[in-house]
Amino acid sequence: MRETPRPRGTVGDAGSEPPQPRPGRALAHTPGASGSGTPHRSDGRPPQTPRGARHAGQFGRPGTTPPVPGRPTIFLPLLRPALWALLFAALTWQVAASGPLLGPDERLGDALRTTSAIPSGPAEFFADLGNLPVALPVLAAALAFVTWRARSWRPAAIAVPAMALVPALVAPLQSLIARPGPPPMAPGTGFYPSGHAATAAVAYGLCALLLRPHLSARPRRALLAACAALNLAVGLGLVRQGYHWPLDVLGSWLLSLALLDVCAWAWTRVRVRAQASHL
């Protein structure tokens, strides 16, 4: 049976024209305004999240759709240790240049050294807490506990170099500035900054920093308060017993705060990376 060939349409035939969209209907993939193909609400209002309103991030900055605003803030936490270091540099300049702060500093030191409000026995006890044979075992015990609890050597990798930096920074500064000590001390120089105050601040500060993630909110605040009170007692003991001037202790605290803030920043980044690697 032969098939009857269908007649081919000419240019003028109506059957050869492409299909036309019906009035009032929207094509699914035709861009345009409402009613011309763009996904829209039935009441004619614009969609809540139109695709045209989404923009990718700028070139060279992190951004997806929707964009991630702002620049990376990796080094923002380092502004605080930079502030401590700047204050330490200003105080060191005052001591080295015999600036106007030395007069009030020596008067305050004489007043604290001769006061009866601070007993000599407790002052000597707290001053001895800045000795390396006392502070290092406490730090070692805290490191052993945190290493066992976290099953990681990373806490020691941060704490040990920070503790080693204390004599590496303090000893050259003491030789360079060569500040004389209070009158009860034997004639000599090298009292700024205080090595005992820096040892106590960094050692006990590292203990609080390493133990803090393993405590709840209330014990965490109590630990930080106890660490601050302990270092204040060590500083008062050093001045009361005539081992250092008040600015010697204050300079050590500023230097120690800079080191501890850098350690806190490094420890936070290590923990974040460790958590991300386990995801």
Q: Encode pLDDT of 103-148 as tens digits.
A: 999 999 999 999 989 999 999 999 999 999 999 999 999 999 999 9
Q: What is the mean pLDDT of residues 225-240?
A: 97
Mean pLDDT of the chain: 81
Q: What is the pLDDT of residue 180?
A: 93
- Give me the residues paired with residue 32 across strands: none
Q: What is the pLDDT of residue 126?
A: 97
Sign for the CA dihedral angle at 221, 223, 224, 230 comes to: positive
Give me the residue spans of the domains in the chain: 120-273
Q: Report how far Cα 82 is from the mean position of its chain's Cα atoms.
A: 11
Alpha carbon distance 200, 212 (integer Å) = 18
Q: What is the pLDDT of residue 43?
A: 54
Q: Encode pLDDT of 163-214 as tens digits.
A: 999 999 999 999 999 999 998 777 788 999 999 999 999 999 999 999 988 8
30 or 184, greater pLDDT: 184
Q: What is the pLDDT of residue 22?
A: 55
Neighbouring CB atoms inside 10 A of 174's CB total 19
Alpha carbon distance 86, 254 (integer Å) = 9
Q: What is the pLDDT of residue 216?
A: 87
Q: What is the pLDDT of residue 164?
A: 95
Helix, strand, coil shares, percent, the chain, to 5 = 60, 0, 40
Q: What is the pLDDT of residue 274?
A: 65
Q: What is the pLDDT of residue 19?
A: 57
pLDDT at position 28 over 70: no
Q: Quick one: which of 127, 263, 122 has its CA closest to 202? A: 263
Q: Any idea which residue has 């941060």 for tokens?
A: 158
Neighbouring CB atoms inside 10 A of 271's CB total 15
Alpha carbon distance 173, 189 (integer Å) = 11
Give the predicted TM-score (pTM) of the model: 0.72
Tokens of 225: 């308060």
Q: Which of 36-40, 250-254, 261-265 has the lowest mean pLDDT?
A: 36-40
Query: What is the 3-class SS of 228-263, one letter each residue?
Result: HHHHHHHHHHHHHCCCCCHHHHHHHHHHHHHHHHHH
Neighbouring CB atoms inside 10 A of 259's CB total 23
Alpha carbon distance 21, 50 (integer Å) = 24
DSSP 8-state code for residue 66: S
Q: Encode pLDDT of 84-103 as tens digits.
A: 999 999 999 999 999 999 99
